[in-house]
Every structure is written in structure tokens, then in C-alpha cells.
């Protein structure tokens, strides 16, 4: 692998390894060793040996880089989460309005660092806490709130690819959805009741159409199967289910005015 062509080949090989790094497991190395032993010529055996060395070096560098990034993500996450703690370092659950606002601000200030590695780190913390003692599980709602606020910011940021590029000023459904997204979860019920149940001018379908448009953007604009896609999709589903539940309760209440569907 020498010369200009060799450099190009190494770059292509490095990219292919990075895209399929999880495939280089114990079974892969056993198959490669078997094929090397089965080579009929010394030249073929040397070529496979050289390939194995290149692959091993690239995998080791990728693993080291990933570990360094995870360590970096962990320190960023610790700093963000500490913003929600009280002055004595304890977390109050349910979270206070002030602690939610501090967490929201910390997420905003670190928005450029909220990548897949950090989101995966949150997921790892949550799985660990779910299997931990009761005293540690108290932190779970704070991590769940982190996911909510992350999704809310991604959906409300006008520079985000998830933000609708064309908005009709008279779209009451979109306006209501934006008000819910930018509000604390504790305010959702009031906003949805006033916007869907008590608002005689609201056509309920417009609200769910607005959610569907956002869900479509999440599906097509974010990497399939990514943490970001899953977190934001679940957030929109949570809003949708909350709205449907309130509408169902309103329909059963004879005192409530009929809804425009």
C-alpha cells in the first residue's frame, strides 16, 4: 500500500471500517485467521496479514477516539445536570420551576455539544439508575426532563432542520403546538384544554396535523434509528397522547361544549 493510490486505498478502507466498526468482533478475527492459514501462497498470506494489521490499528484508534468522546460527553452531561441541583447539591423531585429553567438554560448554552454520544450517555445513565437502589432512581425524572427539554429545543429552534420553513400565520394548530413545545410539561394540560377544548374556533384536526408534519420532518431529516430521532419522536407522541386523553375526557363531559373536529 504505497504511493498516492495506496493512500487513497487506506482512506477508503478506514472509512469502510468506521462505518462497520461493530462488525469487527471476535468472529471476524477468527474468520480472518482461518483464511490466512488457508492461503496457498506466502504472498497471499502476507497480504492478509498486512490487511489484518491495518484493520486492527484503525479499530484501535476508533475505539480510543470513541472512549475519549464518551469521557468528554460524560463531563458535559455532569455539568448540565448539576445545573438542576439545589445549592446543597441535592436534586428536588418533582423538579421546581426554577430547577427546570436552570436545566433548560444549561441545555441551551451547551446546544452545540448535544450530539449522539451525549444522548447515548443519558440513556446509559438511565439504564443504570433503573437497576439501582431507590435513592439513585430519584434522579430518573431529572434525566427524563433532560430528554424533554432537548426535544423541545430541537423542535423550537428556528435554525433547526426540524423547524417548519413555511408557516401559515393563521394556522391555529401550529401556534398551539409551538406554545406547548416551548412550555414546561406542567403547563401542557392548561394549554391543551384552553386551545382544544375551550376554544370554539379551534379545529382539532389542525393541531394533530401540525404534530404529523413535525413527525414527518423528524423521520426524514434525522438519521434513522438515532437517539435524537427516537427522543424527539417520543416527545411528540407524548404531547399527542396527552391531547387525545384530554379530548376523550371532554367528550364524555356533558358540560363541555362540542369540539370542532
76: how many CB neighbours lie within 10 A of its CB? 18
Q: Which has more confidence, 204 or 67?
A: 204
- All cell numbers assigned to 149: 427539554
Is pLDDT at 80 greater than 70 in this prediction?
Answer: yes
Contact predicate 261/203, CB 8 Å: yes
pLDDT reported for residue 50: 81
Predicted confidence (pLDDT) at residue 151 exceeds the cutoff of 70: yes
pLDDT at 219 over 90: yes
Least confident among 24-28, 110-114, 150-154: 24-28
Say how many C-beta atoms besides its own lie within 10 A of residue 202's C-beta: 19
Task: Rounding to the nearest 10 degrees, give the CA dihedral for residues 166, 169, 175, 179.
Answer: 90
User: Which triple of cell numbers denotes residue 261?
Assistant: 373536529
pLDDT for 58 equals 76
Residue 43, burial from CB neighbour count under 10 angstroms (0-12, 13-18, 19+):
exposed
- pLDDT score at 40: 82
Query: What pLDDT was estimated at residue 2?
Result: 47
Phi, psi angle pair for 165, to nearest 5°: -80, -25
Average pLDDT score over the chain:
85
Per-residue pLDDT reduced to its tens digit, 1-14: 444 455 556 567 66
Amino acid at each position: 500500500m504505497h504511493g498516492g493510490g495506496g493512500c487513497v486505498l487506506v482512506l477508503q478502507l478506514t472509512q469502510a471500517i468506521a462505518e462497520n466498526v461493530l462488525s469487527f468482533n471476535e468472529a471476524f478475527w477468527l474468520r480472518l485467521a482461518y483464511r490466512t492459514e488457508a492461503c496457498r501462497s506466502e504472498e497471499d498470506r502476507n497480504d492478509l496479514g498486512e490487511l489484518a494489521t491495518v484493520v486492527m490499528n484503525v479499530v484501535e484508534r476508533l475505539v480510543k477516539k470513541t472512549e475519549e468522546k464518551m469521557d468528554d460527553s460524560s463531563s458535559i452531561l455532569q455539568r448540565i445536570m448539576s445545573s438542576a441541583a439545589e445549592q446543597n447539591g441535592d436534586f428536588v423531585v418533582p423538579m421546581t420551576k426554577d430547577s427546570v429553567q436552570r436545566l433548560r438554560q444549561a441545555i441551551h448554552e451547551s446546544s452545540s455539544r448535544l450530539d449522539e454520544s451525549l444522548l447515548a450517555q443519558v440513556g446509559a445513565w438511565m439504564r443504570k439508575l433503573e437497576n439501582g437502589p431507590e435513592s439513585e432512581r430519584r434522579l430518573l425524572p431529572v434525566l427524563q426532563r433532560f430528554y424533554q427539554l432537548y426535544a423541545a429545543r430541537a423542535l423550537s429552534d428556528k435554525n433547526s432542520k426540524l423547524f417548519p420553513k413555511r408557516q401559515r400565520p393563521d394556522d391555529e394548530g401550529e401556534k398551539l403546538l409551538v406554545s406547548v413545545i416551548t412550555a414546561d410539561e406542567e403547563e401542557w394540560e392548561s394549554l391543551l384544554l384552553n386551545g382544544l377544548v375551550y376554544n370554539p374556533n379551534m379545529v382539532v384536526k389542525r393541531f394533530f396535523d401540525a404534530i404529523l408534519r413535525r413527525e414527518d420532518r423528524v423521520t426524514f431529516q434525522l438519521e434513522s434509528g438515532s437517539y435524537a430521532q427516537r427522543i424527539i419522536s417520543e416527545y411528540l407522541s407524548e404531547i399527542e397522547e396527552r391531547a387525545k386523553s384530554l379530548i376523550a375526557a371532554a367528550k364524555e363531559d356533558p358540560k363541555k361544549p362540542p369540539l370542532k373536529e
